[in-house]
Amino acid sequence: MLTKQYSMQKMSHLDTLESEAIHILREVAAECINPALLFSGGKDSIILLRLAEKAFRPGRFPFPLLHIDTGHNFPEVIEFRDRRAKQLNEHLIVRSMEDSILKGRVVLRSEYQSRNAFQSITLLDAIAEFRFDACIGGARRDEEKARAKERIFSFRDEFGQWDPKNQRPELWNIYNTRVHSGENIRVFPISNWTELDVWEYISREQLEVPHIYFAHKRAVIRRDNTLLPVSYLVQPKGDEKSENVMVRFRTVGDMSCTCPVESIAKNVGEIIAETAITRITERGATRMDDQTSDASMELRKKEGYF
């Protein structure tokens, strides 16, 4: 009778996505020698932590957490990153772009320049330093057109570069994790999730996220059909004026180029309702550096970006 009742139960859409992601995380742990999980404090990496808990608790994670800090991250997100890692009692490795600048590995035109495109240099240095053969990230295929070309196990050559024409087939959830010395794999367990799936999972699991994801009043500048948050990095130019607007962030990154959207969604349920009717991808609407050809996501990924 119990067997019959169990067989009649149907997995929900979120259950199916969760099961696939847990399988991928366990595959990484079983097949890779020295993996790391990229954790920024953003919503997608928060999902990865919950999935890792379900995959490996009550034991410790079989990999450290790694964050590449640009030095221009939102303070609220950095505070959340450190607090969440401490709550989980997991090892967090932080490598800073400021150090890369001091070493001459990264050269910027000015202090106020967006640093998103240069994260790959610090990331590749961290991969070489710790000899990581796999880095687990929270990228999703619905974010941006270059992301949609990714395999779940994305092969990178000895220079850390991604070639979309030189990727391995993935048939029937069978993944090839073999790499030579110096090569590595980027693994994306939530590739098949959408932004709506992410928020519905956050709701179901009652996960805490940084408060800047919820609607709040913030000083912004209207520029090129976007809203830029006012900070020491971004100030009005010419006839521009700062104004206080009710906004929230759909994604979090470098303060110099990450834009909020006007919103009155103050809780997860209201964010789900907004997300269900939007027709603009989160990166297309909120990352200024993704909208210029010279800093396109595909170009950055070919140079080692995650």
Q: Residue written as tokens 């098949």? A: 192
Given a contact cutoff of 8 angstroms between Cβ atoms, the answer to whether 286 and 261 are in contact is yes
Q: What is the pLDDT of residue 162?
A: 67
Q: What is the pLDDT of residue 156?
A: 79
Q: What is the pLDDT of residue 284?
A: 61
Residues 6+ apart with CB under 8 A from 110: none
CA dihedral (56, 60, 61, 63) in degrees, to 10, reads -150
Q: Say how far apart CA 140 and CA 188 lie, in whole Å.
A: 7
User: What Rg value do the Cα atoms of the chain yield, rounded?
Assistant: 20
Q: Say how far apart CA 211 and CA 201 lie, in whole Å.
A: 17
Q: DSSP 3-state helix, strand, coil percentages of the chain (rounded to 5)?
A: 40, 15, 45
Given a contact cutoff of 8 angstroms between Cβ atoms, the answer to whether 183 and 135 are in contact is no
Q: What is the pLDDT of residue 1?
A: 46
Phi and psi torsions of 223, nearest 5°: -145, 130
DSSP 8-class letter at 117: G
Residue 86 CB-density burial (10 A; 0-12 exposed, 13-18 middle, 19+ buried): exposed
Helix, strand or coil for residue 95? strand
Q: What is the pLDDT of residue 283?
A: 63
Structure tokens, 18:
């969760």
Q: Write down the H helix ranges in the chain.
A: 2-8, 13-31, 43-56, 75-88, 97-102, 119-130, 195-205, 268-277, 282-286, 297-302
Q: Say how far apart CA 179 and CA 44 lie, in whole Å.
A: 26
Q: What is the pLDDT of residue 6?
A: 47
Q: Say how far apart CA 251 and CA 113 lie, in whole Å.
A: 19
pLDDT tens for the chain, 306 residues: list them: 455 554 456 889 999 999 999 999 999 999 999 999 999 999 999 999 999 999 999 999 999 999 999 999 999 999 999 999 999 999 999 999 899 888 888 888 877 777 777 888 899 999 999 999 999 999 898 877 666 677 888 887 776 676 766 777 777 777 877 777 777 888 999 999 999 999 999 999 999 999 999 999 999 999 888 899 998 888 888 888 999 999 999 999 888 888 999 999 999 999 999 999 987 877 665 555 554 444 465 565 555 455
Whether pTM > 0.85 for this model: the answer is yes
A 10 A CB-CB count for 154 gives 23
